[in-house]
Structure 1
């Protein structure tokens, strides 16, 4: 569901930013299994995905290989670290740069952001998905974990599903970082406002998705989402 919400939000920003029918040069840093990259390639865009994890690379390559030749030809998959964009790509190479669910696992996120800004073309769109540090107590509280909720107030790290430590970000800090790479904040959304409390929506999934989409763009609900989808633009 998170992927679908972010996809809808991303499409909204692309439609607002670029002429209808324009074929965009897209970079997806930390593409994982390639869902967003493949979706954009199917829409006619030229997509380059960067991934360092072997499982993600294998899944993305298998998914691309199963597509018709016209879509496969628009997909390029690069094995590498998102911090090495300067090694692989020239400045201003991409109209749209995605970095979804990556910054929380990077020790030096400012350096990664600077690299993303470097490859973003004039007029380009940068799309980030980060964990929301201003709402860290919400998920444990919705589970009834009151000790975890109390401990989460003011925290900027958390335990991910694998048991590792990850980083959370605050909107004002991300906004400042975007301004610092000349891609100032254009729009932001909340992702997973309600669904942290609904592990299995079952037949109600469509209703939950509709409520999440509305909440993700509405104050004050979006401010307490588990994730933030933040978009900057190079004007």
Structure 2
């Protein structure tokens, strides 16, 4: 996803421009810090106190120049209007957040309002069009059949989950590309590009984690190249575990 986001930023903005970035649900701030190191002004929003603590620790270990370019705000992504003025950001990131939001439309509308004209809204969501792929490829036939028979699930608030943003568990909401495309158009940030994430690596990661020693697999670069190519190629991207959608504010 980092390469995809870099590609979108380079394609939308002049090279060398320092962007105002809002990262909603920043977690431990790995993504936000990467952007701050690249010279951008980054504001991270997170409501989990443990994540906030980890993010502050990570930021504290950075050089002064990077620390000055990053701000951490503890709060809910649905309350961006309380903290920021409309049009305050060139890029708004919302990665792995909609999985846990019962009604995403108000959140997305609020995030779109934060964008300056021509700004980029980057979303990463669970793919509601292919929920049976992972259990099917790993041989969990009962789970695959259940996924084929069930609609994408929207959990109640506070629902527990055993996965992560990159590897979501079964009990998180999923979104369909067609529905999100319509939503983005309705909030004034129509879809500009979309990618599949985890076409191959969603299952390959289990093998990697089981490998002995800390060294990555010898063919890691080849694997990532294949994954990135599949993530932008039909029909493969349509069955990815996650979708990365990029909307542009009109």
Residue of structure 2 aligned with 1:200, choices 203, 207, 213: 207
1:228 matched residue in structure 2: 243
1:157 matched residue in structure 2: 153
Tell me, in whole angstroms, the C-alpha distance in 2 between the residues paired with 1:197 and 1:191: 12
Deviation at 1:108, TM superposition (A): 1.6
Structure 1 gaps, min length 5: 1-5
Higher alpha-carbon deviation: 65-74 or 156-165: 156-165
Residue of structure 1 aligned with 2:45, choices 50, 53, 56: 50
User: Is 1:22 aligned to residue 21 of structure 2?
Assistant: no
Residue of structure 2 aligned with 1:77, choices 72, 76, 79: 72
Tell me, in whole angstroms, the C-alpha distance in 2 between the residues paired with 1:204 and 1:144: 24
- RMSD (Å), alpha carbons: 1.4
Deviations 1:148-186 (A, max 9, x none): 111112420288425783100000111111011100000
Deviation at 1:31, TM superposition (A): 0.3
Structure 2 gaps, min length 5: 155-159, 164-168, 209-216
| 3-state DSSP of counterpart to 1:135 | coil
- Taking a change above 3 Å as real, the CA distance of residues 207 and 161 of structure 1, as seen in their structure-2 partners, is farther
Contact 1:179 1:185 in 2 (8 A): yes
1:64 matched residue in structure 2: 59
Question: What is the aligned length?
Answer: 230
Deviation at 1:226, TM superposition (A): 0.1
Higher alpha-carbon deviation: 162-171 or 117-126: 162-171
Contact 1:142 1:196 in 2 (8 A): no
Show the 5 A alignment for 1:8-157: 8-153=3-148, 154-157=150-153
Runs of 4 or more consecutive aligned structure 1 residues displaced over 6 Å after TM superposition? none
| 3-state DSSP of counterpart to 1:186 | strand
Deviation at 1:58, TM superposition (A): 1.1
Deviations 1:77-103 (A, max 9, x none): 000000000100000000000000000
- TM-score, reference length from structure 2: 0.89
Residue of structure 1 aligned with 2:179, choices 167, 170, 173: 173
